[in-house]
Amino acid sequence: MQTKKIILNKIFLFTFLFLLVFSVSVNALENNLDVNIFVSNTCPHCAELKNFLTSIENNYDYLNINYYEVSSVENQELFYDLTQSHGFQPQGVPTTFIGDQYFVGYSSQMNDEIIGIIENAKIEVNDINLDQDNNLQDINQNSSQTFNIPLIGKIDGSSVSLPLLTIILGFLDGFNPCAFFVLLFLLSMLVYAKNKKRMLIIGLTFIFFSGLIYFLFMSAWLNFFKVTQNISIVTTIAGIIALVIAIINIKDFFAFKKGITLSVSDDHRKNLITKMRGLLKAESMTSMMIGTIVLAITANIYELLCTAGFPMVFTKILVLNQLSNVSYYSYLLFYNLMYVLPLLVIVLIFTYTLGARKLSQSQGESLKLLSGMMMLSLGGMLVFSPGLLNNIFSAIGVILIALILTGIIIFIKNKIKK
């Protein structure tokens, strides 16, 4: 009996100790703080963030750091699901989720903020819900690149960089001498009809199908870069192509149409002019609309070499930012809306004034120089430091520098001519 009692006591003690250890282990497991980070092998800021977290992770034994390379389709889907559950669109890498906080991008100035998030999360770690189904609670975003701009206030650089870059590149791409030539010549011929309604309809039809062809062209670039995004040499090749296009366009400013050029050739111009004259002879509005669509498609095919640089660079920048498919095509649509905006303004002015104006050679040369200077800076970044294109100041800064240099060169050339 005594022996039986001793055995029962031992069983009870063993069970108690087992349950105690088990409960502590479970509690420790439940109290782990997951740090989920989405990175890219080509992203310099991702490498910097990894180095920082590696240097501090031994100080926090409850940290569970997980890195997800976004070149993987599975990780891209996880990235998209996490951002959607947090109420924002994927904006770029690195994107970090710590407990109930998230931030996009990284700089050394964020180190204290990250440590603060980690230490605060330890206090509330029992309330953290980061399960495998990604049922994450909504949180407030802590910006990684917040800038204080006079009269505007604080803005998040990581969220505004791509939209702002889209506006600038798309709008400047719209100032295209090849597209201007076709549209201005078409409208100049329509002026003689003295029919504002017909001019407006034809002009808008031409713009719509020009934008559609351009959108399809950019979609092809986008899908090519998505397929080859893990081949780093492709980024370098894209940059080299951009540099070649830039040099040719800059050459056209100093020696217009001499030697190699990406402008619409004289033979192609004659072909387009013949189509325009045939368009004016159309008796019905339906025939004129069909003719305009054919003209828009033909003209844009001729213009592809003239306009290839900006779409190539822009779509490569999109892929470098590792976005969702919805975001990719939303940016393409936004870019194309900005691209057709200058053309739309021209149509409205011509329709209102019934005035004819051709694009002068000097204006065409200036547009070529502007295009070349911007392509030179962006192409150089693709070749030598593609990671800089994820930074708002570097991407927008080189464009502003290109604009300033273009103005200076044009000013000097005009002074020399006088």
> How do residues 277-293 score in pLDDT, each as one tens digit?
565 556 666 777 777 77
Average pLDDT (76-89) is 78
Domains with residue ranges and CATH for the chain = 30-144 (3.40.30.10), 157-417 (no CATH)
Could you tell me the pTM of the whole model?
0.51
Q: What is the pLDDT of residue 86?
A: 73
Res. 332: pLDDT tops 90: yes
Question: 81 pLDDT band (50/70/90 cuts)?
Answer: confident
Give the pLDDT confidence score for residue 23 in this predicted structure: 38
**pLDDT of 120 over the 70 cut:** yes
At residue 337 the predicted structure's pLDDT band, cuts being 50, 70 and 90, is: very high
CA distance 214 to 210: 6
pLDDT over 60 at 131, yes or no: no
Return d(Cα 245, Cα 236) in angstroms, integer. 14
Q: In a 3-state reduction of DSSP, which class is residue 284?
A: coil
Compute the distance between CA of residue 327 and CA of residue 59 in angstroms, rounded to an integer: 38
52: pLDDT strictly greater than 60: yes
pLDDT digit string, tens, across residues 389-417 = 555 566 667 767 777 888 888 888 777 77
pLDDT at 27: 39
Residue 300 in tokens: 């844009």
Share of the chain above pLDDT 90, in %: 2
Total residues found in the chain within this entry = 418
**CA–CA gap between residue 395 and residue 244 (Å, rounded):** 19
DSSP state, 60? Answer: -
Q: In this predicted model, what pLDDT tens digit does every residue of 203-237 receive, in sequence order?
A: 788 888 888 888 998 898 888 888 776 556 766 77
Q: List the one residue out of 161, 212, 103 whose CA is nearest residue 314.
A: 161
Average pLDDT over residues 42-60: 84
Q: Is the pLDDT of residue 80 over 70?
A: yes
- Asked whether the predicted pLDDT for residue 179 surpasses 90, the reply is no
